[in-house]
């Protein structure tokens, strides 16, 4: 899979093999657009694969044992352009807790949904699933039992998309993020079997 992935903002230090990606973050790198903080940051390194497949899941294991400074983060990403993207990660906060969360950015405005996890959590799995222009992000501590983080719609996410991994350090820090166990599968996010769509 990694042989099909391409960089957006290649970092100064990284290694990529068939089974493993390592990114050493550079200080003051981040992804965020406008909302609440009223600034725009769009300089994090992103390594992605392109597809027009409308139904699939992507799984990856992230190891951030080296993260140690506020806002250090790494995880999954779907980066279409600076105004349209989503990401999910564990973001270091302090010695007591971190933010397990996701950001969805549509047309230049970001949101941020989080929950607290202990700071001794150093590994997280993610599963990113697509059903046309709707998306699901899940997380797992063991790569087996996944829990839904969010379901979202991407206004510009209907055709060809790009998705993969990212890592960044918004403040004056640096750490090594490690990505392994990457897998593309049939869509694990099954069709909804509850209320029928409107007009049916």
Cβ proximity of 33 and 40 under 8 Å:
yes
**Whole-number pLDDT of residue 135:** 98
Per-residue pLDDT tens for 32-79?
999 888 888 999 999 999 999 999 999 999 999 999 999 999 999 999
Mean pLDDT in residue range 143-161: 97
pTM for the model stands at 0.96
**Average pLDDT over the chain, rounded to an integer:** 96
Per-residue pLDDT tens for 81-110?
999 999 999 999 999 999 999 999 999 999
Please tell me the distance from the alpha carbon of residue 67 to that of residue 96, in angstroms, as a whole number: 14
**Whole-number pLDDT of residue 200:** 58
Residue 143 Ramachandran class (φ > 0 left, ψ -120 to 50 alpha, else beta) = left
Q: Does domain 2-185 have CATH number 3.30.360.10?
A: no
DSSP notation for 41-108: EE---EEEEEE--SEEEEEEEEE-TT--STT-EEEEEEEEETTEEEEEEEEE-SSSEEEEEEEEEETT
């Amino acid at each position: 899979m990694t042989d099909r992935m391409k960089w957006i903002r290649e970092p100064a230090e990284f290694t990529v093999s068939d089974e493993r990606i390592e990114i050493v973050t550079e200080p003051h790198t981040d992804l965020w657009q406008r909302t609440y903080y009223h600034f725009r940051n769009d300089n994090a390194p992103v390594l992605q694969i392109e597809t027009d497949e409308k139904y699939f899941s992507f799984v990856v294991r992230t190891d951030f044992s080296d993260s140690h400074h506020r806002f250090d983060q790494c995880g999954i990403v779907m980066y279409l352009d600076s105004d349209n993207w989503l990401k999910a990660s564990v973001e270091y906060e302090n010695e007591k807790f971190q933010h397990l969360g996701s950001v969805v950015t549509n047309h230049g405005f970001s949101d941020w949904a989080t929950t607290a996890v202990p700071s001794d959590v150093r590994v997280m799995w993610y599963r990113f699933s697509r059903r046309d222009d709707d998306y699901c992000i899940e997380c797992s501590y063991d790569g087996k039992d996944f829990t839904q983080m969010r379901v979202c719609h991407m206004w510009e996410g209907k055709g060809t998309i790009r998705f993969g991994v990212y890592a960044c350090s918004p403040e004056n820090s640096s750490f090594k993020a490690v990505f392994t166990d990457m897998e593309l599968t049939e869509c694990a996010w099954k069709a909804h079997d509850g209320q029928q769509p409107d007009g049916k």
